[in-house]
Amino acid sequence: MSESDSPTIVKWHSASVERARGCVVWFTGLSGSGKSTVANRVDELLANLGTPSFVLDGDNVRHGLNATPQILAQRHSTEFAERFGLTFSSIDREENIRRIACVAELFVAAGLVTLTAFVSPFRRDRDLARQLVVERGGVEDFVEVFVDTPIEICETRDPKGLYKKARAGEIKNFTGISDPYESPNHPELHLAGGSKSIDELANEVVDYLRKIKKVF
């Protein structure tokens, strides 16, 4: 093992300034369930209340931090793109969630209510995200929100035509069609995405954040 590979040279440095910690609000659910829409509405409500927040959206991070090989290949070599780009395979989805959890924890440490909107279909990946966040803070730093919208409703929305393509076999590894979705067993919040308005759902989230004293 070379010196650069040795774990002994990588050490955690504590911050000199102690900040009030925010939290992660981890929205999970099928594509088209309303995760991003609810997260952005919560972001607006928190801004109006003077609580600093930020939305990490699944599609947006795939353009930069967790870019696909195709996107990376526009600026980097094929070798680089294939090594560091993330596809939608199970193992790449795991890395996608790990990276986001690490970024979210940094935002939490900076005092932000961090709203993440990712399908994140596997319980083990969401559990790891929770662990990465709470081990440097507390159990209330991670709020799992299950946006429970029936797949029939998600398919009728389908703004990008993904379900239609998945049904036709044009998209592989599509959650809910060719890949499974493992719903949370004990989420902090269970939102009825198919029967309530966006404002109703967003207010449920804000009310919960007030309860755990994350709204400043």
Give the tens place of pLDDT for each residue, 59-89. 889 999 999 999 999 999 999 999 999 998 8
| Res 123: pLDDT | 95
Q: Please list the active-site residues.
A: 120
Q: Among residues of the chain, what percentage have pLDDT more than 70?
A: 94
Band of pLDDT at residue 97, cut at 50, 70 and 90: very high
Question: How far apart, in whole angstroms, are the C-alpha atoms of residue 73 and residue 125?
Answer: 27
Q: Quote the pLDDT of residue 89.
A: 86
pLDDT tens per residue across span 17-42? 666 789 999 999 999 999 999 999 99
Please check the confidence at residue 4 and state whether its pLDDT lies above 60.
no
Domain ranges of the chain: 21-211
pLDDT tops 60 at residue 2: no
Name the residue among 8, 3, 172, 155 with its Cα closest to residue 87: 172
pLDDT of the residue at 73: 96
Burial of 94 (0-12, 13-18, 19+ CB in 10 A): middle
Residue type, 139: V
Mean pLDDT calculated for residue range 112-120: 95
Write out pLDDT tens, residues 124-170.
999 999 999 999 888 999 999 999 999 999 999 987 899 999 999 99
List, in sequence order, the alpha helices (H) in 75-134.
78-84, 90-109, 123-134
Type and span of the H or E element at 25: strand 23-28
Check pLDDT > 70 for residue 205: yes
User: Which comes out higher in pLDDT, residue 160 or 112?
Assistant: 112
- What top-level class would CATH report for the domain 21-211? alpha beta
Judged by phi (left if over 0) then psi (alpha if -120 to 50, else beta), residue 122 lies in beta
Q: Tell me what percent of the residues of the chain surpass a pLDDT of 90.
A: 78
